[in-house]
A and B are shown apart, each in its own frame.
Chain A
Amino acid sequence: MKATCWMGPGKMQVREVPDPMILNQQDCIVKVTSTAICGSDLHLYNGFLPLMEPGDIMGHEFMGEVVDVGRDVRNVRVGDRVVVPFPIACGQCGPCRAGAYSVCENSNPNAYIAEKMLGHSPSGIFGYSHLTGGFAGGQAEYVRVPFADVGPLKVSDGLTDDQVLFLSDILPTGYMGAEMCNIQPGDTIAVWGCGPVGLFAIASAYLLGAEKVIAIDRFPYRLQMARERAGAITINYEEVDSVPDVLSRT
């Protein structure tokens, strides 16, 4: 199969690599129909993260059709259409049972390295260096997805790929930002940054009951998207003297 491989800082190549196989009995194999690039992939591209090896397959935002399942998989079947979230979670350990999937204690085979560097290991993540387990990522034709009963989200045929792909990473990320504001109906919310995550944060803020959302950035095309697609009031911080002053008057 073809896959996007990291071959060094600033060097990405599409290469021919072997197809993935079932390695644990709770795995499934997903045939990728859509896959996205995340802003955090830039850290890998630029060589800022240690423990990357030439040949690592990139990508942690993907969706597709299940084409193979391991013996112990119960919730998904061959043919199901799924969106796969970027953290890998076992569903059985303490953090998973408490809903803290991003610090799953079982899903990072290289946990001892991350623990040494960070104090506690995060969960395994697709395509995000050997620090998070060295899992092959989703910018490929097929992906091996561990713990198929826990992560993959089944989607109906009535929704297009474009409508659901971002459930894999950036929509929940923006939503979590808005959720952390503990928005009460009628609140005014300000969002700094109108990139993809910021746009989802704006949309999520409205969803959670905000009356007014003010978005701040400096790129006109981003501010335009924030206005037209997300319905925010925008401020270009390069054009005003003091953002807090403008905020207090808006």
Chain B
Amino acid sequence: MATALETGVTTSRASRETEVPVGVGLAASMRPSPAVAAPYQRLADRDRGSGGESTADFLGYFSLGLGLAEFLMPTVMARVVGIRNPDDRNRSTVRLMGLREIGHGIAILSNQQPTTAVWSRVAGDALDLALLGGVLADPENDRGRALLGIANVAAVTALDVSTAQQLSRQPRTQANAGVQAGIVRTMRSITVQRPVSEVYAFWHNFENLPRFMRHLESVTVIDERRSHWIAKAPAGKSVEWDAETIEDRADEIISWRSLPGADVYNAGTVRFMPAPGGRGTEVRVELEYKPPLGKLGSKVAMLFREEPGQQVHDDLRHFKQVMEFGEILVSDATKQRGPHPAQPDERPVEL
């Protein structure tokens, strides 16, 4: 009986061209040479975050959620851990723990590397375990629920400890430089089906950028090195800055930095590389900026898709569309910001 490998269904274009039977492992002689793979490996290495930050964020949101539940529903939460008839003293204790949890959450979400905040969670867990021990000891309470509560807190404690340890061990690398100063970094890339020279030339003329960066109101080129930028900010405001081009190598890289006096500090690099297989250009943007309302403010902005990291993501998609077919594609539901049914209407397109 023919196996899948022998029915002649060739799935690999390479195998069709080089007569290699499907299912044979790639011998060392057929793998790409280290010289070819090296630039991509370097990019992959730089993409590694500083570690522990996303678990810490999760713990931050978890703290907020738990804290709100404890503060707003103390009777329910007391029953959940086994207190059969919660009295006023029980409820006040739960509420206080709720406030403490909310504090942890805000502390974690306000800091890029919230090492101290996560260690403080561990201290809070110790307090929780002590209180739950008291609940368990009282024969009037539900033993089963108290034990379950202790087990859950113990599990979260383990997570807190491991996250705090991971954060404490962070080396000073390029990936987390500037973190203490409250600078957020973001990296995104996209492949565009156009030659590198065309892509570089389009980006290099900064006055083209508002065509695909919808949060930019205008860019005015002052001279070879300097330009003036105006961007839309939340709540109908706008922010302005002067920027200086630090590095500019044709068909390779453009690097800029905002000048002192900017409303929002930002700096970044755009790299242009030929995509593998001769299929267009890889555009890679690295952006760092200082959110005016700190990390917490940037988390709120994320809810509205206004956070610069998300905007870079969206702008790169729009850039690809403008380069590949000249316009940003809209649909009936997306031609305006905000929820809108998928139905034509008479309103103008407003990206």
Contacts and interface: CB of A to CB of B under 8 A. Distances in A.
A109 interface: yes
Contacts of A238: none
Interface string B289-323: 00000000000000000000010011001001100
A125 B161 CA distance: 47
B349 A57 contact: no
A109 B342 contact: no
A111 B344 contact: no
B252 interface: no
Contact of B331 (A17, A21, A54, A124): A124
Nearest to B333: A134
B324 A106 contact: yes
Contact of B343 (A3, A90, A91, A106): A3
B193 interface: yes
Given A110-B334, A133-B334, A24 B341 contact: no
Contacts of B313: 112
A133 B193 contact: no
A231 interface: no
A21 B344 contact: yes
Given A53-B342, A134-B332, A92 B8 contact: no
B88 interface: no
B332 A25 contact: no
A19 interface: yes
A8 interface: no
The main secondary structure of chain B at its interface with chain A is loop
Nearest to A133: B331
- Which interface residue of A129, A134, A147 has the most chain B CB atoms within 10 A? A134
A94 B330 contact: no
A135 B344 contact: no
Interface in A18-37: 18-21, 23-26
A8 to B, nearest CB: 12
Contacts of A56: 333, 341-343
A92 B314 contact: no
A204 interface: no
B341 A53 contact: yes
A57 B342 contact: yes
Interface string B334-348: 110001111111100
Contacts of A19: 344
B244 to A, nearest CB: 31
A134 B334 contact: yes
A19 B330 CA distance: 16
Contact of B333 (A25, A54, A106, A130): A130
B342 A130 contact: yes
A19 B343 CA distance: 9
Interface string A51-79: 00111110000000000000010000000
Nearest to B339: A53
A84 B153 CA distance: 57
A92 B333 contact: no
A54 B333 CA distance: 12
A169 interface: no
A153 interface: no
B236 to A, nearest CB: 23
B198 interface: no
- Which interface residue of B313, B341, B349 has the most chain A CB atoms within 10 A? B341
A27 to B, nearest CB: 10
B51 interface: no
B343 A111 contact: no
A25 B344 contact: no
A5 B334 contact: no
B334 A109 contact: yes
Nearest to A128: B342
A139 to B, nearest CB: 12
Contacts of B332: 20, 57, 134-136, 144
A218 interface: no
Given A97-B193, A124-B331, A182-B7, A17 B279 contact: no
A24 B332 CA distance: 11
A127 B314 CA distance: 23
A18 B342 contact: no
Contact of B344 (A20, A24, A54, A124): A20
B149 to A, nearest CB: 33
14 contacts: A17-B343, A23-B349, A53-B340, A92-B324, A93-B193, A106-B317, A109-B329, A110-B333, A112-B317, A124-B331, A133-B334, A134-B332, A134-B333, A144-B332
Interface of A: 3, 5, 17-21, 23-26, 53-57, 72, 90-94, 97, 105-107, 109-112, 124, 127, 129-130, 133-137, 144, 146-147, 182
Given A18-B345, A53-B333, A94-B191, 16 more contacts: A18-B346, A21-B344, A26-B325, A53-B339, A56-B342, A93-B324, A94-B193, A94-B280, A109-B334, A110-B333, A112-B310, A124-B331, A133-B331, A136-B344, A146-B329, A182-B8
